Amino acid sequence: MKIGLPRALLYYNYYPLWHAFFEELGCQVVTSSTTSKSTLDRGVMNCVDDACLPIKLFHGHVVDLIGRADAVFIPRLVSICPGEYICPKFIGLPEMIKSSIKGLPELLVLNYNAHRNHKDVHKPYIELGKIIGVKPSKVMLALQKATEKQQAYEMLLRKGQTPLDILKGRKYSKKEECKGIIGLIGHPYLLYDEFISMGIISKLRNRGYDVLVPENIEQSQIEMACSQMPKKLFWSYGKKLLGSGLTMLEEKKVVGIVFLSSFGCGIDAFIVELLQRYNHRQYRIPSALITVDEHSGQAGFDTRLEAFIDMVEWRDEREGYVPPYGTSIFGY
């Protein structure tokens, strides 16, 4: 059986797990092609207008798999951590796909919900196995092997690799003469989709900087940073972005921070807002918000990034001159 894995949304978080899982079950895994203009166009055509870019893109990747796989894998992650949620759109994803795309192959939906307890996390995988026709005992074995792969992946991430480095099999080693570290905050499906992020990671590296991404930060640090919030943040990924941003600021490791966000993203609107405000109030590190949508062009993107780098370097020359509140170029 050929199983299609859309290269979008949480793919970048979990592909080692999912890949290995299906392969262990004896399935063949087909990943959708890397994002291109046509993936995006097909996504836009097959999705409601009001959805955000990443959701449209997911639709595009599913369309890309039609005819190439016997079944398409759609993760429905309601919650990945007790008491927390992720973006509501992930919860309704299978329904959105079913309603918007015609001529779909079978959908393999993973109904994952750790909102109430964390103990039964293997159950949805067993369900999947049932659909494919594999015995629970074998599924458990596959899951175990896959989990090991996933853990190894996460370990590499925490050692400073980005998911892109690992995906492409190019180990990145830190520069000898690095001009500084730039923090890059954004959802994985924006940052590591090179079409969407316009290769921002390599661009920054080519300019002589190292990048630090949320995946590099320890979960315990994220938790600690967010525990200072007056109310528990109930979006796991929102928390990850805010917590890693705060950690980067707090440890004074970074010389600048770029937020990459998609237009109309409800969660980012809040997270970026809070982070910007804390930054301006306390740390005053140069920052830029770059918002992408389906109409974003390379030129505009580059200009913004250049302006940001200029600001970082300008400030560096003046040895820590602190720009007053409100001078961040794209911030508020």
Partner 1 sequence: MKVTFPHMGQVYLAIKGLLDDLGIEVVVPPPITEKTLEIGTKLSPEMACLPLKINIGNYVESIQKGADTIIIAGSCGPCRFGYYGVVQKEILKDLGYDVNMIIFDPPNSDYGVFIDKIKKLAGKNSWISVAQAFKRASAIVKEADEMLDIALKKRAREINKGDVDSRLNCFEQEVLSRHGNDEILETIRKYKEILSQVEEKSDVLPLKIGLVGEIYTLIEPYVNLNVEKKLGYLGVEVYRSITLYEWVKLHLSLDVKYRMRHKRILRKAAPYLSLCVGGHAWQTIANTIYYSECGVDGVIQIMPFGCMPEIVAESILPRVYQDYGTPVMTLVVDEMTGEAGYFTRLEAFVDLLEQKRRGRVDGYKEGLFGN
| Residue 215 is a binding residue for ligand SF4 (CB under 6 A) | no
Residue 287 interacting partner from ligand SF4, partner 1, none (CB closer than 5 to 8 Å by kind): none
Binding interface with partner 1 (CB under 8 A): 47-52, 55, 78, 84-89, 91-92, 95-96, 98-100, 229-235, 261, 263-270, 272-274, 277, 281, 291, 332
Binder to ligand SF4 among 7, 56, 187, 240 (CB under 6 A)?
187
Question: Among candidates 313, 322, 250, which has minimal Cα distance to 284?
Answer: 322
Site string for ligand SF4, 255-294 (x = CB under 6 A): -------x--xxxx--------------------------
Residue 49 interacting partner from ligand SF4, partner 1, none (CB closer than 5 to 8 Å by kind): partner 1
Question: SS3 of 200, please?
Answer: helix
Strands (E), the chain: 2-5, 28-31, 71-79, 106-113, 181-185, 210-212, 254-262, 287-292
| Residue 52 is a binding residue for ligand SF4 (CB under 6 A) | yes
Site string for ligand SF4, 217-256 (x = CB under 6 A): ----------------------------------------
CA dihedral 93, 96, 101, 102 (to 10 degrees): 120
Quote the CA–CA distance of 62 and 12 in Å, as a whole number. Answer: 16
How near is the Cβ of 307 to ligand SF4 at its closest, in Å? 24
User: Whose Cβ is closer to ligand SF4: residue 262's or residue 287's?
Assistant: 262
Site string for ligand SF4, 69-88 (x = CB under 6 A): ------------------x-
Sheet with 2-5: strands ordered across: 28-31, 2-5, 71-79, 106-113
Question: Among candidates 186, 162, 174, which has minimal Cα distance to 275?
Answer: 186
* Inter-axis angle of helices 123-132 and 136-158, nearest 10: 120
Tokens of 128: 């999947």
